[in-house]
Amino acid sequence: MNPSLQPKETRRAGVHARIVTVLAASLFVAPISFVAPDAHAQISPGKLSKSHSFLEGMSNCTKCHEMGAGPSVEKCLSCHKEIALSLDNRRGYHHRAVAVGKKPCFECHSEHAGADFDLVHWPDGIKGFRHAESGYDLEGKHRALDCRACHKPEFIKEDLKKYQSEIDLEKTFLGLHRECRSCHADEHRGQLQTDCLACHTQDAWVPARGFDHERSKFPLAGKHRGVACARCHPTVNEVSAADPKDQSFVKYAGVASASCASCHKDAHAGRFGKTCVTCHRTSGWTELDLRGFDHERTRFALTGKHREVPCAKCHPALAPAASSTSKKQPFLSYAGTALPSCSGCHKDVHAGKYGGSCETCHRTSGWAQIVSANFDHNRTAFPLKGRHAGVLCEKCHGQDLQKKKPAFSKCLDCHADTHRGQFAKRARGGECSDCHSEKGFVPALFTIVGHDSTRFPLADAHLAQPCIACHAEVADDKGKLYRRYVFGDIACASCHEDIHAGQFARSSPKKSCEDCHRATRWADLRFDHDRDSSYPLVGAHRNVECRRCHLAFEENGKQTVRYRPIDTACKTCHPIENP
């Protein structure tokens, strides 16, 4: 068959076989051929490639070939020091092929096929090369790139010329580094960590699926979660040594967040200081936290129906001062509001006949509630305070005000115990005034700080829960609802479902939820396999995915993951074949 009609790969595969056969015959069978006129044709199987043409001639054979054998790996590496470097560093395709796979160089690089012969043999074609064999598997969008999109001189970080001065950087596949920044410009200009894959994937630059704002110095809460990133992280222009042509980048590090005023204008023009969270919540500016602001501590304590009046009714919107930077944005006037007299807000229906001290006869609980005969209850053994001042006299004394004298030593003398005796074992028998005042049953005086004195101090994510999330309504033995405050069991499982189906409660040593989980959130683990389990991970076990050993199973109709007990004998996971 005419060799020119054979497939190209078939012709390439036969080249080396002819080289070895001809060379062996020339060196050991017919030594007389050295003096024959066509001696070169009998010894050499063909011309060397252009790259090796300087080795032409019979005196140079042993520079590549061993006597009585084919080409030597050691002799190849004596010239190709850039390849020797990768073998010494135990990395790259040549390390896996030569050092590990024991392949000879000529299996991929055949010679004596002419000056224009391609020295690189791709068994499956260059497109079929398994990139994982180089030690760097292509993932995501890297799979679709042309080889030379990455393998080009500007991305080569190794000084290959130092080891092989004749190397052509336009053709070589050596010298690249694995770090993202070795090929890609740092879009963050050194603001963040160098491990790009901690936040990004190779499928797409955005979205950054690995980034979690909750682990940053400023966890997002309330309406902050709905704010567009660019509102806090603007695009800035700054000369960058990494890419002087592109001066714009998004600012992530160094964003001011020490106080609300770092981003928000003070609608109160500084009248209440800079600690906005004293009264406001991140869930909404108008959602006031009454635990932080107590009008009773001001010069005008709210009582009776004054509690129901909208704030803006007494605190009108005012224009900012000329020196303000709020751009003439109106704000509500709180500090400096004049303490009004009744006639300042209310029309005097008596036309001034009885003077300006309306409170002599009337109460804030209602205009129609008149103090009989200008009676001053505060001079009795039971001064009327808070909401007691607005209660109709008949409510406590009946229709004949002079005859009925109700007991008043305890709140329960008049008021039903809405807590069904839950606090009876507390100091003072659970006196109502320990948590409530005459100003109103709600809000209670009991605060989050007070919760710290209980058996269950609030911390982390528990702080964000509304009281009624844990203190729900239950029915008493008569079917009447009341809110539960005292619990016999305060373990996690008393409120939260055990998704582990009791694995850690049944087996020894018994584990509780907080041994592995934090109150910040369920996925925030403190578990250390080497410290907290009976099976420390060593060697290749460290790289095994959890789900390879901890398998899913069903118990009582629910899916969960097996964590214990697990048989840790080697044969459990690695069965012995052909014992």
Do 72 and 92 reside in the same domain of the chain?
A: yes
501 contacts 560 by C-beta, under 8 angstroms:
yes
**Domains identified in the chain, total number:** 5
Write down the pTM of the prediction.
0.44
Final residue in a domain of this structure, among 227, 257, 287 = 257
Do 127 and 21 reside in the same domain of the chain?
A: yes
pLDDT at 18 over 50: no
- Provide the CA 492 distance to its chain's centre, in angstroms: 24
Do the domain assignments include residue 396? Answer: no
Do 36 and 172 reside in the same domain of the chain?
A: yes
| Residue that is written with structure tokens 């063909």 in the block | 46
Do 49 and 121 reside in the same domain of the chain?
A: yes
Mean pLDDT, rounded, for 478-507: 88
In 263-365, which ranges are E strands?
280-281, 284-288, 317-318, 331-332, 362-363
Do the domain assignments include residue 467? Answer: yes
Percent of the chain with pLDDT over 70: 83
Do 127 and 234 reside in the same domain of the chain?
A: no
Instruction: Give the chain's count of helices (H) and strands (E).
Output: 17, 12
Cis peptide before 466 (omega within 30 of 0): no
Picking from 314, 309, 308, 278, the residue whose alpha carbon sits closest to that of residue 440 is: 308
Do 524 and 509 reside in the same domain of the chain?
A: yes
Separation CA 212–CA 227 (nearest Å) = 15
pLDDT at 452 over 70: yes
pLDDT at 63 over 60: yes
247 contacts 255 by C-beta, under 8 angstroms:
no
How much is the pLDDT for 9?
44
Final residue in a domain of this structure, among 233, 257, 281 = 257
Cis peptide before 565 (omega within 30 of 0): yes
pLDDT at 16 over 80: no
Q: Mean of the per-residue pLDDT values for the chain?
A: 81
How much is the pLDDT for 5?
33
226 contacts 286 by C-beta, under 8 angstroms:
no
316 contacts 333 by C-beta, under 8 angstroms:
yes
DSSP string computed for 448-462: HHHHTTSSS---GGG
Mean pLDDT, rounded, for 413-434: 88
- Decide: residue 99, CB within 10 A, 0-12 exposed, 13-18 middle, 19+ buried: middle
Do 267 and 244 reside in the same domain of the chain?
A: no
